Amino acid sequence: MASQQLSAGGPGGLHACARYTRDRVHSATQLLRSAMSTNRRQLEPSVTDRLAQRIAATKLGRKTAQYLAELRTRRVPLHWTNMFGVVSAACLLVIFVTGFFLMFFYTPSTASVVYKGSYSPLHGATVSEAYNSTLAISFELRGGLLIRQAHHWAALLLPASLILQMLVMFFTGAFRSPRRKNWVLLFSLLLVALVGGWSGYALPDDMLSGTGLRIVEGIVLSIPFVGTWLSSLLFGGQFPGQVIDHLYPIHIVVVPLLAMVLLAVRLRAASREKPPQFPGAGRAENNVVGISVWPGAATRAAGLLMIVMGLLFFVSAFFTVSPIWLSGPSSPGDAASGSQPDWYTGFLDGALRLVPPGWEINWLDHTWTLALLIPLAVIGVFLGAVVLYPFFEQWISGDDDDHNLLDRPRNTPSRTGLGVAAITFYGSLWGAGSADIVAVQFQLSLESVIFFFRCLVIVGPFIAFIVTQRVCLALQKKDLETLSHGYETGRIVRLPGGEYIEVHQPVASYERPGLVNTSQRMALRAHPDAHGHIGPVTRFRAALSRFFFENRSARTDQHDGQPGVKSLDWIDDPTTLKEPANRDH
């Protein structure tokens, strides 16, 4: 319009043209200022960026950046057995968080009160403050029952994941140098978890936990010389005494502190050592084939951590555990029929049930109750053997080298047999803890069930050892045959001479390292000392070494001029193996 007025002439057209030009200049100026402001905002860091820059400039920030850079270069192998540690971490996290929540609502006291809560069947009953507060958490606190059950389910899962970690370490030889201390730390963490679970099991002060505490009192009193003093220290007088008041600090202070210290030491030791890995293509003692810790392995671990925590809360929402309102409050003069402890202490209960009653002797002016002392001694020896086994194997093998390659269980038949024998022994004790339930469910006499478990706990480990060792040797022979001839394809081919043979597929090059036994340990020989004598300890050590290492063969051969057994250990090139001649020709 302004151009039309300008072309028409006159002052009106000039004013319109001036306004049009001024508006265009103003619009262009606004656009320029907006663009400059946007560029300025883009160039200026945000508040979070400035905060991150300041933190990165601090000493802590520099150490964190350096640590993350190291994690990006550190490699860890990918294997499903490595995930048990994440499951244990998830259980500990749930236990700590839910336990911190429950601590504000639980009353650790055995003082008697009259129940007036929302659970009507117990109205007017005399209960302890501990039992009353636990019922209040379960029925009156919003979300309290979910939190309490998640705490209990996590405490049940934690020992299982730790035991699985120990089994993986044992059967693969991951406890060997330089990780023997990791075995001791993991075993100590398992004991701390058992103590934490047992102390928490007694805190609700219901009939079931009261029955368990009565059993503990009897065991403690049976200890000669110090039993009475220990019982007074634990219970604070006559049963039940002040046992809740004494167990509560152990459960919320001692156990968490010990667990955190052991975890910190274990993580520190793991950060200084190379992660072990199974033999495979490109894997050796001096390298690690896998993914970076950050962000690859950390992301996977975080995902599994969330999955385990979610499953724990899912189970807690739909499956009831420890319904203390059904068993009722604890009563010193009563016991719950068919009571069963938590699964991780079942082997202790089973050991007590297998010893015949009435085994007592009088010695040194004291009554020695062998029916209780023998199970305690057997369990103590068993646990001591478990924690000291890495040092025992190092002693009989004389192997002080560092090992970063794991063993396949089949390649160490004696160790694998001992592990299965220990599992059989533990399982027999654990099954004996439910002997009364087995007798009722299967309509058997209790005496026959107890006799069966007595026989199983003695004979079972030996049978398990022999069978496992034979199976491992058969699997070694299978690997040797696979390396020699390849995999069976099921294809039958007729040769020009009329002979029928089966076509075998050769083993791929990347599969061969996983089938070959890389262990080269030999049995120790008893050498005389400076005086030409061979002591009994040396002979015993040599005999154990022969028993442990020589019976792992795939075929009989000569080695160093001595008759012995030669397995895949000494086969440098499996492709050079030839099929033995047919004895029928």
Give the range among 143-147, 239-243, 349-353, 491-495 with minimum mean pLDDT.
239-243
* Parallel, antiparallel or unpaired: strands 360-363 and 291-292: unpaired
DSSP for residue 506: P
Q: How confident is the model at residue 569 (pLDDT cuts 50, 70, 90)?
A: very low
pLDDT tens digits, one per residue of 62-88: 888 887 888 788 888 888 888 899 999
Residue 9, pLDDT above cutoff 60: no
SS3 content of the chain, % helix, strand, coil (to 5): 65, 10, 30
pLDDT tens digits, one per residue of 525-568: 777 777 778 888 888 888 888 888 776 544 433 333 333 333 33
Structure tokens at 479: 């690997």
Stated pTM of the model: 0.82
**Mean pLDDT, residues 372-397:** 92
- Domain definitions of the chain by residue range: 2-44, 79-346, 472-576
**Mean pLDDT, residues 140-159:** 94
In the CATH hierarchy, which top-level class contains the domain 79-346? mainly alpha
- Distance between CA 103 and CA 311 in Å, rounded? 23
pLDDT tens digits, one per residue of 303-337: 999 999 999 999 999 999 989 998 888 887 776 66
- Distance between CA 9 and CA 371 in Å, rounded? 126
Beta strands in 274-359 (DSSP E): 291-292
